[in-house]
Structure 1
Amino acid sequence: MRWIHLKPADGRAMPWRNGGGTTLELAVDPPGASLVTGFRWRLSSAEVASSGPFSAFPGMERCLLLLEGAGFDIDFGPRGRVELREPLAPLFFSGDWPAVATLVEGPCTDLNLMCDPRHGRARVEALRFEGPRSLDLAGAPLLIFVAEGTVAVPSLGLHLGRRHTLRIEDGTGLLAVAAGLGGASLVVARIGPATF
């Protein structure tokens, strides 16, 4: 099993494609890929300081989760309007869709996973737990993002802090993890073939 522990300080800050803000790229495949060269998938976090349009990512499938703040409404034009208010509730939509966000009350922070469906699709779930539990490693690559709290991974000798990401390749079986005092919230994303 191959893995890498990614800290926020390891991320790559970059302007939004539409110039309306900045995002912190947490993980990307292939490593070193950019918006210019293209990518198979990309995990990032953005500070949404003002209302405005989303950048267009034609051909990409997107999953957005609210990390902090009161949330925002997203107007998808003819496809309707969606409220993103519940923390860590995954919202899937096409990067082809025009989207305009309206903040509810002040700035927000979100987590964004984009996948090129020609290479794979994402399954995303949010987990809130206390104490120990096991995570199924099937469906690698696997991304484990710590939204809140801290998490120990004894078998790897790791302590994942808030907003840290663990990327696992070629994993099988179960991975034992343990939440720190007060519990932890994780976002677990499995990126598999288009048929899974």
Structure 2
Amino acid sequence: MIPTGAYAEVVNNSNITGGTWDLSFTVLPKPSNVEIYGVQLSIPPHANGTAPVADWSNHTTTAYDTGTGTDAWWVISKTSTTYAHTSTYSNASRMMIVYEYQGTPFNVTNMYPILTAGNNSSFPDIFTTSFVSLANISGKTRLTVSVSRIDFIGSNGSNNSNWTGTFLLNLLLARKLY
């Protein structure tokens, strides 16, 4: 079944007697009731790593801002929590990060963020991200996320789970219109 607005290409593969029919590709229509915005943001280094970058608030550090002009995202604050590893429990290294969009605020009604962490470095670090909040505050859209390193907890010689590299946060905002 091909839904309304979609199409498919069917080709005859005549490699054998009588040929066979192959589905070459299909295209589904973009839903008309959804707006989508995507961007890649920076995850700053942890404040307790072997090469630490101190936590900040009120946008006192600009090194991890992304984009330009009205399509820029600022890292307003980051708060690091170091790992904890005892004989009875383990807590992963994590950070709470507040990003602020510098363009016209998004209409956040019925808006749903999808987050994934990326790693384009030579480091083996693996992260998970959690959505905390998305709100318009003082004429700007603010996104708060929690990021945690999950590939190991604790320290291994001079290496520890408080990361020192800059990693990627892939953000997709989808807003249902009706």
TM-score range, shorter chain: under 0.3
TM (normalized to structure 1)?
A: 0.22
Q: Name the structure where strand makes up a greater proportion of residues.
A: 1
Query: Larger radius of gyration, structure 1 or 2?
Result: 2
TM-score when normalising by structure 2: 0.24
More RCO (CA 8 Å, sep 6+)? 2
